[in-house]
Amino acid sequence: MTNLPASSRVDDIIAAAGDLAQRIAPGAAARDLNRTLLFEEFAQVRTAGITSLRVPLEFGGPGGSVRQLFDVLVTLSVADSNLGHALRSHCNFIESIRLGGDEAASQRHFARILDGAIYGGAHTETGTVRPGVIGTQLLEAEGGFRLNGTKHYSTGTIYADYASVTALDHRGDFVSVIIPTDRAGVEVIDDWKGMGQRLTASGTLKLNDVEVLPEEVSSRRQSDLVGRYVASFRQLHLAASVAGSAGRLLQDAVEFTNKHSRSPAISQAERSRDDAFIQFAVGEIGVNAYAARALILDAADHLERASQAIASGAQDASAVVLQATLAVAQAQLVGGNLALRSANLIFDAGGGSATFSDFNLDRHWRNIRTVLNHNPLLHKTRVLGDYYLTGEVHHLTEGKSI
Give the per-residue pLDDT at 222: 58
Q: Report the pLDDT value the prediction gives residue 238, as an integer from 0 to 100.
A: 97
Whole-number percent of the chain with pLDDT over 70: 97
Spatial CA neighbour of 337 closest among 252, 242, 249: 242
What residue spans define the domains of the chain? Answer: 6-118, 137-219, 224-397
pLDDT at residue 129, as a whole number: 76
Please write the tens of the pLDDT for every residue from 234-244. Answer: 999 999 999 99
pLDDT of 119 > 80? The answer is yes
Say if residues 200 and 237 touch (Cβ distance below 8 Å): no
In the predicted structure, residue 2 carries a pLDDT above the cut 50: no
What confidence score (pLDDT) does residue 8 get?
65
Rounded to the nearest 10 degrees, how much is the dihedral formed by the CA atoms of 159, 163, 164, 168? 140
Closest among 78, 19, 75 to 48, alpha carbons compared: 19
Using the predicted structure, report yes or no on whether residue 74 has a pLDDT greater than 80.
Answer: yes
Q: How confident is the model at residue 117 (pLDDT cuts 50, 70, 90)?
A: very high
Would you place residue 132 in the very low, low, confident or very high pLDDT band (cuts 50, 70, 90)? confident
> How sure is the predictor about 335, in pLDDT bands with cuts at 50, 70 and 90?
very high
pLDDT band at 133 (very low <50, low <70, confident <90, very high): confident
What CATH number labels 6-118? 1.10.540.10
pLDDT digits (tens, 9 = 90+) for 55-71: 999 999 999 999 999 99
Query: What's residue 177's pLDDT?
Result: 96
Q: CB of 165 within 8 A of CB of 136? A: yes
Q: CA-to-CA distance for 318 and 299, rounded, in angstroms?
A: 16
Q: What pLDDT score was predicted for residue 128?
A: 79
345 pLDDT more than 50 = yes
Specify the DSSP element, H or E, that contains 176: strand 174-180
Best CA proximity match to 148, nearest among 225, 68, 210: 210
**Mean pLDDT score, 302-310:** 98
Q: pLDDT tier at 221 (50, 70, 90 boundaries)?
A: low
Q: Is 332 helix (H, G, I), strand (E, B) or coil?
A: helix
pLDDT band at 263 (very low <50, low <70, confident <90, very high): confident
Residues 302-311, mean pLDDT to the nearest whole number: 98
Confidence of residue 274 (pLDDT cuts 50, 70, 90): confident
Q: What is the 3-state secondary structure (H, E, C) of 335-358?
A: HHHHHHHHHHHHHHHHCHHHHCCC
Beta-sheet pairing, 204-212 with 186-189: antiparallel
pLDDT in tens, 143-186: 899 999 999 999 999 999 999 999 999 898 999 999 999 999 99
Dump pLDDT digits (tens) for 178-211: 999 999 999 999 999 999 999 999 999 999 999 9
Topology of the domain comprising 224-397: Butyryl-CoA Dehydrogenase, subunit A; domain 3 (1.20.140)
Prediction pTM value: 0.94
Q: Which CATH superfamily is domain 137-219 in?
A: Butyryl-CoA Dehydrogenase, subunit A, domain 2 (2.40.110.10)
